[in-house]
Amino acid sequence: MEELYATVRGRVQGVGFRYFVVQKALAIGLRGYTRNESNGDVEVVAQGPRPALEQLLMLLRQGPSEADVQKVQTAWREPTEHFSGFHIRW
């Protein structure tokens, strides 16, 4: 079990990005959350096996069709909190 922390930059708010993340993360069996940041970025914290996390990372770089992802900053770390499901945080 690993944790992926990602900050997604670009046109990622107001385009359904968080809902896209939740749908994709749940489909590949990950746990965690996503939320909008006040500076226009989207934060993603996902936990699961490394191959599934790498799959999510690939999807984050694409985003939904309305998004324009400019950059995804990532950090790999040990899980510090245990999540159930994958949710949008406000």
Other residues' Cβ atoms within 10 Å of the Cβ of residue 70: 11
Specify the pLDDT at position 11. Answer: 98
Tokens of 77: 């770390």
Tokens of 89: 């945080």
Specify the pLDDT at position 66. Answer: 97
> Is the separation of the CB atoms in 74 and 45 below 8 Å?
no
Contacts of 26 (CB under 8 A, 6+ apart): 85, 86
**Does 89 participate in catalysis according to the annotation?**
no
**Does 39 participate in catalysis according to the annotation?**
no
Residue pLDDT, tens place only, 5-20: 999 999 999 999 999 9
Q: Outline where 10-65 has alpha helix (H).
A: 17-27, 50-62
Residue pLDDT, tens place only, 2-61: 999 999 999 999 999 999 999 999 999 999 999 999 999 999 999 999 999 999 999 999
What's phi and psi for 84, nearest 5 deg?
Answer: -120, 125
Instruction: Say which of 36, 61, 77, 89 is annotated catalytic.
Output: 36
Specify the pLDDT at position 80. Answer: 84
Instruction: Say which of 18, 35, 50, 89 is annotated catalytic.
Output: 18
Specify the pLDDT at position 75. Answer: 98
